């Protein structure tokens, strides 16, 4: 296995750098299958900060909320929901981050990954990012696709069914995304709209519209009230289970059977 560490290449355009980049070009051109693993760095040039650099999100959070946040990572830990002040900071920050993502544009790196896909070289992209720029550039992130299925009871009628095709998913969002919100009780999902982003920036969790609807119906028919949920970002925090872990493992197992680790590794 040959390893090319891109971060160690100089930006001065010297001979060593030119040789290293030429190796990268030849490696990609010679590869039939490319597996791409990305993190926050590829979105920085779009205006979205990374996490751990001196100017990253963790540092910004500690500066902006010194009385609430001692470690930027704390704001991405599921235990924050046990602290009302942390919940307020979390929602306010997520509203601001959603606004940043709305303004962002896809970077040359996203375009490069899409080009690999168009040329049939991309086996799959795995990303830690929650900005959905992979989806915006045209890479499918869903695990299932809708298909027409003939109802066995009535061959003339058709219904929609969802099937998982391991070749269908082009980019796996390992930590979820900020395109969608999910209810903490009924798990109903809805788009993270501009209006909801403004509500988030106020630091108050918005109520789940589905739970509110059910509560109204229960009141009409004389049933006792139940706990209603609030909307939260559909992302995976530290110390919580991955809701799509099984589907992710199926995808991983699929490409591990196809990809032979006897080739070059670029990182």
pLDDT, tens digit (0-9, with 9 covering 90-100), for 89-134: 999 999 999 999 999 999 999 999 999 999 999 988 999 999 999 9
**Cα 227 from Cα 213, distance rounded (Å):** 12
**pTM of the shown model:** 0.79
HEC assignment per residue over 211-257: HHHHHHHHHHCCCCCCCCCEEEEEECCECCCCCCHHHHHHHHHHHHH
**Catalytic one among 175, 187, 194, 260?**
175
Q: Which two tokens stand for residue 171?
A: 């980019």
- Tell me, what's the pLDDT at 23? 81
Query: Which stretches in the chain have pLDDT values below 70?
Result: 1-14, 17, 145-166, 254-267
pLDDT tens track for 31-64: 888 889 999 899 999 999 888 788 888 788 888 8
**Cα 228 from Cα 212, distance rounded (Å):** 7
**Cα 87 from Cα 23, distance rounded (Å):** 48
**Residue 127 three-state SS:** strand
Distances (CA, A) of 21 to 28, 53, 117, 143: 11, 25, 21, 34
Residue from 147, 127, 82 nearest 236 by CA: 127
Reply yes or no on whether 187 is catalytic: no
């Amino acid at each position: 296995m040959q390893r090319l560490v891109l971060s160690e290449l100089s930006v001065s355009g010297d001979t060593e750098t030119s040789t290293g980049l030429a190796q990268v070009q030849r490696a990609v051109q010679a590869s039939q299958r490319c597996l791409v693993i990305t993190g926050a760095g590829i979105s920085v040039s779009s205006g979205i900060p990374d996490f751990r650099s001196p100017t990253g999100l963790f540092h910004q959070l500690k500066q902006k909320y010194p009385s609430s946040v001692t470690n930027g990572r704390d704001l991405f830990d599921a235990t924050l929901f046990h602290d009302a002040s942390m919940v307020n900071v979390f929602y306010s920050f997520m509203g601001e981050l959603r606004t940043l993502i709305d303004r962002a544009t896809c970077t040359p790196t996203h375009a490069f990954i899409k080009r690999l896909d168009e040329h049939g070289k991309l086996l799959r992209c795995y990303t830690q990012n929650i900005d959905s720029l992979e989806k915006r550039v045209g890479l499918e992130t869903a695990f299932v696709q809708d298909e027409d299925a003939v109802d066995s009871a009535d061959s003339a009628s058709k219904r929609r069914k969802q099937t998982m095709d391991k070749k269908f998913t082009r980019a796996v969002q390992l930590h979820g995304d900020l395109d969608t919100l999910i209810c903490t009780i009924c798990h109903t999902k809805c788009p993270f709209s501009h209006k909801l982003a403004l509500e988030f920036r106020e630091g108050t969790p918005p109520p789940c519209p589905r739970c509110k609807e059910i509560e109204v119906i229960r009141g009409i028919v004389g049933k006792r009230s139940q706990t209603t949920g609030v909307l939260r970002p559909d992302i995976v925090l530290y110390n919580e289970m991955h809701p799509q872990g099984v589907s992710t493992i199926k995808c991983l197992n699929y490409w591990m059977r196809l990809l032979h680790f006897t080739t070059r590794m670029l990182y």
